[in-house]
Amino acid sequence: MSTTVFILNGPNLNLLGQREPDIYGRTTLAEIEAQCRDKTQALGLTADFRQTNHEGTLVDWLHEADAAGARAVLLNAAAYTHTSIALLDAIKAIGVPVIEVHLSDPHTREEFRHISYVGMAAAHTVQGLGPQSYIQALEHAAQL
C-alpha cells in the first residue's frame, strides 16, 4: 500500500489566518501544511498537500490520487462541500478512501452548511477541531 496521502484544500482556504478568524482561527494554511508534514513523517507517510479555488481542479486531483494509488485523500472542500455534486461523483468513482475534513463544525453553522455532498461518499469525517481536524484525519488514514 502506498504511503502517500493527498491533502486537498478547496476555495478560500488560502486565506486562513485572516479570513473570519472567529470561525476558522488564526492558523494559516502554510502552518497547517507544516503540521501535516510533521505528522505524516511521524506516521511513516508522505503528504501531497495542495490548495485550489477551482472545483474542477479538485476533481482532477481526486482522479490523480486514485491513479497514483494513494493511501487516502484528506479533503477539505470548503464551500464546495455543500454544493458540489461533481465532487460527490468523483469520490464515488475512485477507489481511494476519502476523509472529509473541516476546521469548524458545519452542523453548528448556517443551515445550508448542514448538507455535505462530500460526506455522502466519504469514508470518514473529522470536523470542528480546528487544525487538529487534519491531524486526527491523518491518524485515521494511517490505520487504513
* Residues labelled as active-site residues: 24, 102
Burial class for 103, CB neighbours closer than 10 Å (0-12, 13-18, 19+): buried
Cell of 77: 472542500
For residue 138, how many other CB atoms are within 10 A of its CB?
Answer: 24
Please list the residues that pair with 127 across neighbouring strands.
102
Residue 137 parent element (H or E): helix 132-142
Secondary structure of the chain: what % helix, strand, coil (to 5)? 45, 20, 35
Q: One-letter amino acid identity for 117? A: Y
